[in-house]
Structure formats: C-alpha cells, structure tokens
Amino acid sequence: MANFEDLYREIILDHYRSPRNRGELTTPPAVLVEGFNPLCGDEIALYLDVDDGALVNIKMMGHGCSISQASASLMGAAVKGRPIATVRDTIETFKQLMTEHEATIEHDGRPAQVDLRALGELAALQGVVKFPVRIKCAMLAWNTLTQGLDQVAA
C-alpha cells in the first residue's frame, strides 16, 4: 500500500508542478466560468469550448494549494475531448470518490463503490478523503466545471 501512496503523491506533485491544459481559450464560443473557495483562497477559471455535444477543449488558470491545482489538471486531462454525457459521468464518479469511497471501505467493510482502476490517474486523489477539510480543495475545479456545463446547456 505504501508504494501506491508514493505513486499517488508523485502523480499529484507532477500535476501541481506541471499542470496540464494551462492557459486561456480566447476564441469564441469559449465559456468562462470561475470558482473560488473562500475558506482557503483557492481560485480557478475554466475556459470551455463545447461543440456538437462534446467538451472539445478546456483550459484553466488559477492558483491555490497543490490539491486544488493538481485536481484541476487531472480533471482537464480526464475530460478534454469527451462527450458531455461522459464528462458528467466522470464528474459524478469523482464526487462519489470524494464522498463515499473511504467511508464505504472503513465503516461498512464492503468493497469500494468506485472502481479506482477505471479512474486512472484521478485515483491519486483518493487519499484526500482522509482530510475532510481538503475535499473542497479537490472539488473546486469539478464544481466549477459543472457550473460551466450547466451554463452551456441553458
């Protein structure tokens, strides 16, 4: 288990130090949506290019702790170029990981509700649930993405 924790820590640090999809989309019809966590000061701006039912491109800017920035980078890599329905499924799976996975294993003794192998590198963030105050850091980009997709759908 320690080897997985070390690997996950390295994935998080890699995405924090070298975030993917960093920058802005300046060409219309890009949608800009911003998120802010007043408890810790994390900020994110997402630029979304949605076309023909898919998240064609995503770029992000912002600052904050390593968890919020790594989560945003991992999210962008996981959802870019995917159909909106798949993106929404990924969001729900990630939310489930942040809210149910650890409790299910520790309290009920049942197998995990989230297939960590299917999450790929996103599984690196599973350790965040051990620190409830950091869950909002990990969720900031995901909640902001949901808001942006809702704007596009409206």
Q: Which residue has the higher pLDDT, 55 or 8?
A: 55
Measured in whole angstroms, the distance separating CA 46 from the mean position of its chain's CA atoms is 12
Domains and CATH numbers, the chain: 2-153 (3.90.1010.10)
Supply the pLDDT for residue 9: 84
- Contact residues for 6 (Cβ-Cβ < 8 A; gap 6+): none
pLDDT in tens, 121-131: 998 998 898 88
If you average pLDDT over every residue of the chain, what do you get? 87
pLDDT value at 112 more than 60 = no
Task: Kindly provide the b/e burial profile for residues 12-37, where b requires at least 16 CB atoms within 10 angstroms of the residue's own CB.
Answer: bebbbeebbbeeebeeeebbebebeb
Confidence of residue 47 (pLDDT cuts 50, 70, 90): very high
Supply 61's token pair: 């800017």
The predicted pLDDT at position 7 comes to 72
The CA distance from 4 to 142, in Å, is 24
Under a CB-based contact definition with an 8 Å cutoff, are residues 82 and 90 in contact? Answer: yes
d(CA 79, CA 56): 9
Q: Band of the pLDDT at 100, cuts 50, 70, 90?
A: low
DSSP category for residue 22: B
